[in-house]
Amino acid sequence: MTKTFNVSGACNPRLHYMVNLEPRLYEIKKMIDAGKYFTINRARQYGKTTILRALSDYLRKEYSVLSLDFQRLSAADLSDEAAFVNGLAREVGRKISFMEGVPAGIKEAMKELEEKRSYPPKMAEIFDCFTQWCMRTEKPLVLLVDEVDTATNNQVFLDFLAQLRAGFLDRDEIPTFQSVILASVYDIRNVQRKLRPDEEHRENSPWNIAADFLVDMSFSAGEIGGMLKEYEKDYHTEMDVIRVAHLLYDYTSGYPYLVSRLCYFMDERLPGTDAFPDRKSAWTKRGVLAAVKMLLDENNPLFDSLTHKLIQFPELETVISKLLFQGQAIAYDPDDVAVRNARMFGFVKVENSTVQIANRIFETRLYNRFLLNAMEQDNEIYAEGVRQKNQFVINGYLNVKLILEKFVETFDYLYGDRAETFIEDEGRRFFMLFLKPIINGVGNCYVEPQTRNRERMDLVIDYNAQQYICELKIWHGNAYNERGEEQLSSYLDYFHLKKGYMLSFNFNKKKKIGVQEIRLGDKTLVEAVV
């Protein structure tokens, strides 16, 4: 059977190319062996369902596993306690009809609760059934629940959590689940809920028994490489597995869906096109960049979810705008609701106690969105980019030096008399606005996170499978500028480039506006001052 790269639903190792999940399953099983109750909170399409299904199979030799999906509960099932117990009993009954080793009487008890034979069922009754099951089963019982977000806005779900918590606290006296794992996007320990008609908000608290879940769900470059080696055995593309794996990681930071989507494009969509006649040509750096372009240009459920969250939580835009354009360092504060939500939804990650955009793909997509919004407010600089765009591309290559020359000229004319603080906060955004129509439809850009600060950003432009590095910086004197030149030179080595670009926003009244070329070792640096 031919395997594929799966980009919809859970992955199956018999059908799909996958990273090796065994190390993660081993770590999770250690938590289960220790009797931990915990949540797996990750952003949309982060592999939660895949890991739960793999975990269910991984545990079967030692445990009985009851695996539920709350997406199968309807709105009617969440309307009140009786309806919830009825719907839960229905789903449990459906699952145990396929399970071995379920003690006699449990199936019949679930059937009674499902059909409400004598009176409206109570939450305590279904937990009495679980207790009887735990007492009589040969193997300890583990409960896995996927998509618990479906129910988090309802009182009955909180009652369900409270019963699980009570069982955990009384486990030395009354048999209960060996372990409970709940998977969701929202952290049910903190999510706000609406319980009353007056829309009063309260904090969710009945799950304070949850252990910390520290297993890394993202893919490492090595794990991506292992998946590509399996693919290479089937197709013999002669790809440089290590290099392609690192490129995929560089753009995705190991976000499972993004990795799979890029691989899908290189496997199924690029081969057979004019630019990539076969798989061998697609599984290259040029192919990765083309796949990135395809991904950024499409609408998919993950991007739609991110857009919806920006609309639903407007405070996210402030956090993201500071990171994207001002290079403002944001220290991670777990009590900052906007940052906490940005992290929960997958927009950002926390490294060295500072907040960063989660990956290059998200960053570029967010740049495109924010610049589109900015076009309506600052249309002069964008309009100039549109008007002048045709002169900047020669034989498929960007003339970045000319772009800098024209930007310096345009920026000085439009904004040269603005206050220093205005230019310091907005200058880099204006350059991106000018650049956007020039590369639109063919290229994209992003900023390398390790260089992002108030003084300096290294902007990477991907255009027609070529890369250009342009440092955007705030001028702080000649000594600082020389250090910047040396840093840019080192960065060019990383990208295997011999030419780099620098755009300085200089507030010295005696500054000389313009563009010059300088040699630094074996490299050429094109420096623009505005």
Give the CA-trace dihedral at 126, 130, 133, 137, to 10 degrees: 160
Per the structure, how many domains does the chain have?
Answer: 3
CATH of the domain at 30: 3.40.50.300
Domain boundary among 146, 173, 203: 203
Could you list the residue range(s) of the whole structural domain that residue 418 is in?
366-529
Q: Are residues 59 and 33 in the same domain?
A: yes
Q: Say if residue 195 is in the same domain as residue 256.
A: no
- Alpha-carbon span 52 to 33, nearest angstrom: 16
What sign for the dihedral angle of Cα 478, 481, 486, 487? positive
From CA 130, how far away is CA 450, in angstroms rounded? 51
| 292 plus 410 within the same structural domain | no
pLDDT digits 0-9 by tens, 422-472? 666 677 888 988 998 999 888 888 887 766 666 677 889 999 888 999 988
pLDDT surpasses 90 at 322: no
* Residue 528 C-alpha from the chain's centroid: 35
Domain identity same for 510 and 388: yes
Are 39 and 182 in a shared domain?
Answer: yes
In this structure, the answer to whether residues 279 and 427 fall within a common structural domain is no
Do 294 and 168 share a structural domain?
no
Residue-wise pLDDT tens digits, 72-89: 999 889 889 999 999 999
Q: Is residue 238 part of a domain?
A: yes
Q: pLDDT tens across 488-513, in order?
A: 777 788 888 999 999 988 877 677 88
Query: How many angstroms separate the CA atoms of 130 and 139, rounded?
Result: 14
5 in a domain, yes or no? no
- Clarify whether residues 520 and 374 are in a common domain: yes
Q: How far apart are CA 201 and CA 153, in angstroms?
A: 10
In a domain, 384, yes or no: yes
Buried b (16+ CB within 10 A) or exposed e, 513-527: eebeeeeeeebbbbb
Which of 298, 319, 342 is the C-terminal boundary of a domain?
Answer: 298
**Residue that finishes a domain, picked among 239, 274, 298:** 298
For the chain, first and last CA: distance in Å? 60
- 360-385 pLDDT, tens digit each: 999 999 988 888 776 555 578 888 88
Residues 398 and 500 in one domain: yes
Residues 103 and 243 in one domain: no
Is 325 within a domain?
no
Q: CA angle at residue 302 from 279 to 253, to 5 degrees?
A: 65
For residues 60 and 162, state if they share a domain: yes
DSSP state string for 130-159: HHHHHHH-SS-EEEEEE-GGGGTTSHHHHH
> Are residues 330 and 319 in contact, defined by beta-carbon separation less than 8 angstroms?
yes
- Is residue 513 assigned to a domain? yes
CA 488, 490, 492, 494: dihedral to nearest 10 degrees? Answer: -140
Cα angle vertex 313, ends 8, 329, to 5°? 95
**Residue 319, domain member (yes or no):** no
The residue among 155 and 29 whose pLDDT is bigger is 29
DSSP codes joined into one string, 78-106: GSSHHHHHHHHHHHHHHHHTT-SSPPTTH
Asked whether residue 139 falls in the same domain as residue 275, the answer is no
Rg (CA), the chain: 27
Q: Are 121 and 113 in contact (CB under 8 A)?
A: yes
Judge whether 314 lies within some domain.
Answer: no
Which residues have a Cβ under 8 Å from the Cβ of 308 and sit 6 or more positions away? Answer: none
**Which DSSP state fits 174?**
S
CB 126 within 8 A of CB 88: yes
- Tokens 């045709």 belong to 390
Residue range 45-62, pLDDT digits in tens: 999 999 999 999 999 999
Would residue 326 count as lying in a domain?
Answer: no
Q: Distances from the Cα of 4 to the Cαs of 177, 261, 287, 300, 443, in angstroms?
A: 37, 11, 18, 19, 28
